[in-house]
Amino acid sequence: MTNALGAEDSSVRLQTALAVGSNPDPVFLETLVERCAVEPDFFVRDMLSWALTRLPPETTLPRIRQELDSERTQARSQALHTLSKIGDKSTWAWITRDMLRDADDEVARTAWRVAVVLVPEGEEKDLADELVLQLGRGDRTVQLSLSRALADLGDVIRSALERAAESSDPAVAAHARATELLRQNPETGFDVALDEAKRMVALGPERAAAAAAAAASAGTETSEAAEPAETTESMEAAKAAEASEGGNC
């Protein structure tokens, strides 16, 4: 089994992880954990985590906790991912500020996700206050992950986002505004929300509101200007129809 999990063909590794998870046995714990730290394929890593969730939590969790302090970034990231899959609320205390602020983007992104899953009731606001400190960080993928994590916390993030939206750092302010737009309307695409937020930050709230009002006004005038033409066309069409009917008679 150990050899198969290290096979060159990723499909072999995937099938092996599936087989181990389908026949859970604590004897495989160490091998699964070690493989999580080095497995290059995303789908295989996810299957390895699933196989770990199939083992008794009292056996798996202490070993996963050790990986949270690993020097290997993938080991830390995958251990966090496995915690989110197990979903044991008692492990909330293991999610430290250092993890939420980890210098490695992938570790930090995973920590944000698992924190939202495990946060106890009543502590969501404190978590939101911590997560907003990461606004403006990284590329689009990192920022989208943070926005989703914050949005999943619900209305409790509103005040923290309002403060961040007034930041002197344009990247932080725009990211905060984009996150609030997503919270209000989850159907809004992140790129659209971020572009709109950047425009608001660049113009300032008053000028952005004025520009939006002007655009709305222009749209109304265009609609009204089109009305007479449409009415005239309708009247001419009605007259033509009447003439045609009279000819047929």
Average pLDDT for 52-57: 96
Question: What secondary structure does DSSP assign to 169-211, as a single string?
Answer: SHHHHHHHHHHHHHHH-TTS-HHHHHHHHHHHHHH-HHHHHHH
* Residues 6-50 pLDDT 10s: 999 999 999 999 999 999 999 999 999 999 999 999 999 999 999
Q: How far is the C-alpha of 69 from the C-alpha of 37, rounded, in Å?
A: 12
Q: What is the pLDDT of residue 129?
A: 94
Q: How far is the C-alpha of 183 from the C-alpha of 178, rounded, in Å?
A: 9
Neighbours of 156 (CB within 10 A): 16
Q: How far is the C-alpha of 88 from the C-alpha of 131, rounded, in Å?
A: 21
Q: How far is the C-alpha of 114 from the C-alpha of 94, rounded, in Å?
A: 11
Confidence of residue 189 (pLDDT cuts 50, 70, 90): confident
Cβ neighbourhood burial of 108 (10 Å; 0-12, 13-18, 19+): buried
* Residues 136-184 pLDDT 10s: 999 999 999 999 999 999 999 999 999 999 989 999 999 999 999 888 8
The answer, yes or no, to whether residue 236 has pLDDT greater than 80, is no
Highest mean pLDDT among 158-167, 185-194, 228-237: 158-167
Neighbours of 201 (CB within 10 A): 22
* Residues 208-218 pLDDT 10s: 545 444 544 55
* Residues 81-128 pLDDT 10s: 999 999 999 999 999 999 999 999 999 999 999 999 999 999 999 999
